[in-house]
Structure 1
Amino acid sequence: HISDKMNLEKFISVQPQYNLLSREIEQELLPFSQSEGVGVMVYSPLARGMLSGKYKTPNDVPPESRAAHGEKLLRNYFTDRNFQLVEQYRKLAEQNEVSLSQFALSWVLNQPAVTSSIIGASKLHHVTDAVEISDWTWSEELLNTVNSLY
């Protein structure tokens, strides 16, 4: 309403972080975006690689990974709860015959308020995995299962 009142351009999109481990925007931003017709282009759908499955424990860090190179924001995800959630998501991904990365990305894309997602691909398979999963529609049961875990 401030934009209208001051004769300013309206916001047409937002770019928040959103993934299976970081869902804070569900409280206010996503409902607001839906009600006001604001696009939601999320970043970090794989939680900086945490939802790729490469990190099994805080001490099991592949030498070529972001965590090994000191990325502090990734280390914020290194909690017992997140490692437990990732393991549960991995099992659901296996049951649905997709990789953990595909599972996490498709969950983001199946959220009604999400318009698109920035995947930050650094390897060709990141792109092909995303394309393969981009039209997978989740069942209500699977969405409810994931919500109950979080």
Structure 2
Amino acid sequence: MQQRRVGRTGLTVSSIGLGTMTWGRDTDEHDAAEQLEVFLEAGGTLLDTAATYGAGASEALIGKLLGASVDRQDVVLVSKAGVRSRRTADGGGVVDASRGSLLDSLDDSLDRLGTDHLDLWLVQTPDPATPLEETLGALEHAVATGRTRYVGLSNYPAWTTAQAATMLAPPSGPGLAAVEVEYSLLQRGVEREVVPAAGALGAGLLAWSPLGRGVLTGKYRATVPASSRAASPHLRGFVEPYLNDRSHGVVEAVTTAAAGLGRTPLEVALAWVRDAPGVSCAIAGARTAGQLRGVLAAVDLELPAPIRSVLDEVTAPEIGYPERF
């Protein structure tokens, strides 16, 4: 698998990363261990998790596997903080990117993961109630104390990303290494400002949900499989936004392209994101090792220019003033 630099940093990651949102909940220890073995054998390195995944269960499971069968040096550990585990009455997480909350969450993550440092630590989502200076101060402290090697932001708009990059800029700061955002043929909104901003700032782009929350695999073309995320009580709301007519048209275009190449829709959709300008790593999750093998089948696929051009045209986001004058 290709190894890439994250932006202008010295951090190197695999072009496809392994997402672990379902680990410890829908994916048990046996399946997770098999996934990690398959992923590492394929040359994968980046392992993406968060303190909120399974209320810490994902990190705890990763820590157990690292302690038992995997060398810590073989993986690039990425985790996120900024959403407190306490739940509101409606089931939503509590956004809190204050200094105390972030650093407490980081310490808890390191304890669950069984390591003294992360390779990359991200703030999971913007917190309008906390001054950006305070949030960034926690990131600087985490690097200064050796608890993480690099820091970045996830799901932030371009203007905040640019502001953060300026405030974290060397030599006084650790730098903004990466931004992690949703990016797929069904969600190209980041191309309006985030992608060009990240490129100009030297931050690497990590793309989460490159398969359109699973919809681009084509599994929902006719119905909702009983074993799918869209049928799961805790993930149904995550998938439903892409079960609409527009998405159906994109899925059909991807399916047609895949048929012409003799590949699967999953492989075509993943290859498109992985090789999009500025992307350091496309992070895909899987429930089983069998599903992960399907993901890794895209490693050798390079989309022909005419097919990429057609997919670009069919899914292009609307861009106007002032991004395009």
Q: Normalised by the size of structure 1, how large is the TM-score?
A: 0.90
Change in CA separation of 1:141 and 1:41 when aligned onto 2, cut-off 3 Å: same
Specify the structure having the higher radius of gyration (Cα).
2
Among 197, 205, 228, the alignment partner of 1:65 is: 228
1:110 and 2:287 correspond = no
Counterpart residue type for residue 255 of structure 2: R
The answer as to 2:313 corresponding to 1:148 is: yes
Q: Aligned to 1:48, what secondary structure does the other structure show?
A: coil
Distance in structure 2 (CA, Å) of the matches to 1:130 and 1:65: 16
Q: Following the alignment from structure 1 to structure 2, what is the Cα–Cα distance between the partners of residues 144 and 47?
A: 19
How far apart, CA to CA, are the structure 2 residues paired with 1:29 and 1:38?
A: 10
Residue 18 of structure 1 contacts residue 42 of structure 1 at CA under 8 Å; is this kept in 2? yes
Contact 2:184 2:273 in 1 (8 A): yes
> Is it true that 1:74 corresponds to 2:239 in the alignment?
yes
Q: How much does 1:99 deviate? A: 0.4
Structure having the larger proportion of residues in strand = 2
Give the superposition deviation at 1:5: 8.7
1:83 pairs, out of 239, 242, 248, with: 248
Choose between structure 1 and 2: higher helix proportion. Answer: 1
- Equivalent position of 2:19 in the other structure: none
The secondary structure found in structure 1 opposite 2:225 is coil
Q: Is contact 1:109–1:134 with CA below 8 Å preserved after alignment?
A: no
1:123 counterpart residue number: 288
Deviation track 1:31-77 (CA, whole Å, cap 9, x = no partner) reads 111222211111101111101111015xx211111111232021011
Contact 2:169 2:176 in 1 (8 A): no
- Report the CA distance between 1:112 and its aligned residue: 1.9
Aligned match of 1:137: 302
Asked which structure has the greater RCO (Cα within 8 Å, sep 6+), the reply is: 1
Structure 1 residue 83: deviation in Å? Answer: 0.8
**CA distance in 2: counterparts of 1:72 and 1:139, whole angstroms:** 34
Match of 1:97 in 2: 262
Deviation at 1:148, TM superposition (A): 1.3
Number of equivalent positions: 148
Over the matched positions of the two proteins, sequence identity in percent amounts to 28
**Cα distance, 1:91 vs structure 2:** 0.7
Q: Which runs of 5+ in 2 are unaligned?
A: 1-165, 316-325
Separation (CA, whole Å) in 2 of partners of 1:6 and 1:109: 31
Q: Which residue of 2 aligns with 1:9?
A: 174
RMSD: 1.8
Residue in structure 2 matched with residue 41 of structure 1 by the alignment: 206
